[in-house]
Amino acid sequence: MSENTTSSDQSIEERGSNRSQRPVSQAFKDFVMSQWAPRGDLGVTPSRAVPFTADRRAALSGRLPGARLVIPAGPLRTRSNDTDYRFRPHSAFAHLTGLGTDQEPDAVLVLHPVEEGTGDPGADGTPSNHHAVLYVRPLAPRDNEEFFADARYGEFWVGARPSLADVETLTGIEARHVDELKDALAKDVGGNGVVLLVVTGADEEVETLVEAIRAEAGVDLAERAEAETADAQASGSTAALDEATLVGTALDGTVLDGTVLDDAVLDDAVLDDAVLVEATSEIRLLKDDLEVEELREAVARTIEGFEAVVRELPRAVAHRRGERVIETTFDANARLEGNAVGYETIAAAGDHATTLHWIRNDGEVREGDMVLLDGGVEVDSLYTADVTRTLPVTGEYTDVQRRIYQAVLDAADAAFAVAKPGARFRDVHAAAMEVIAARLEEWGLLPDGVTAAESLDEDGQQHRRWMVHGTSHHLGLDVHDCAQARREMYLDGVLTPGMVFTIEPGLYFKADDLAVPEEYRGIGVRIEDDVLITADGHENLSAGLPREPEAVEAWMASLRG
Ligand code: GLY
Ligand code: MN
**Closest atom, ligand 1, to C-alpha of 479:** 4
**Closest atom, ligand 1, to C-alpha of 473:** 4
The beta strand positions in 293-392, using DSSP E, are: 340-341, 346-349, 370-375, 377-378, 387-392
Residue to mutate, 372, 374, 429, 474, ligand 1, most ligand atoms under 8 Å from C-beta: 374
Neighbours of 392 (CB within 10 A): 21
Q: How high is the pLDDT of residue 241?
A: 30
CB 66 within 8 A of CB 113: yes
Residue to mutate, 475, 504, 530, ligand 1, most ligand atoms under 8 Å from C-beta: 504
Q: How high is the pLDDT of residue 248?
A: 29
What is the rounded distance in angstroms from the CA atom of residue 95 to the CA atom of residue 100? 9
Q: How high is the pLDDT of residue 256?
A: 33
| Beta strand 506-509 pairing with 370-375 | unpaired
Task: Read off the DSSP letter of residue 162.
Answer: P
**Closest atom, ligand 1, to C-alpha of 502:** 4
Q: Quick one: which ligand is closest to 502's CA?
A: 2
Residues touching ligand 1 (Cβ under 6 Å) are 343, 374, 386, 479
Residue to mutate, 341, 357, 358, 359, ligand 1, most ligand atoms under 8 Å from C-beta: 357
Task: Report how far ligand 2's centroid is from the alpha carbon of 479 (Å).
Answer: 7
Task: Report how far ligand 1's centroid is from the alpha carbon of 386 (Å).
Answer: 7
Q: How high is the pLDDT of residue 21?
A: 75
Task: Report how far ligand 2's centroid is from the alpha carbon of 473 (Å).
Answer: 7
Q: How high is the pLDDT of residue 253?
A: 30
Task: Report how far ligand 1's centroid is from the alpha carbon of 529 (Å).
Answer: 11
pLDDT along the chain (561 residues), means of 10: 50 68 90 90 91 98 97 97 95 98 96 97 95 94 91 89 94 98 96 94 98 93 70 53 31 33 47 95 98 98 98 98 98 98 98 98 98 98 98 98 98 98 98 98 96 98 98 98 97 98 98 98 98 98 98 97 81
The beta strand positions in 299-369, using DSSP E, are: 340-341, 346-349
Task: Report how far ligand 2's centroid is from the alpha carbon of 95 (Å).
Answer: 20
**Closest atom, ligand 1, to C-alpha of 356:** 5
Q: How high is the pLDDT of residue 428?
A: 98
**Closest atom, ligand 1, to C-alpha of 504:** 4
- Name the pTM for this structure: 0.91
Spell out a b/e string for 256-280, using b for 16 or more CB atoms within 10 Å of the CB, else e. bebebbbebebeebbbbbebbbbbb
**Closest atom, ligand 1, to C-alpha of 374:** 1
Q: How many helices (H) and strands (E) does the chain have?
A: 20, 17
Task: Report how far ligand 2's centroid is from the alpha carbon of 295 (Å).
Answer: 14
Task: Report how far ligand 2's centroid is from the alpha carbon of 59 (Å).
Answer: 27
Q: How high is the pLDDT of residue 234?
A: 67
Task: Report how far ligand 2's centroid is from the alpha carbon of 477 (Å).
Answer: 13
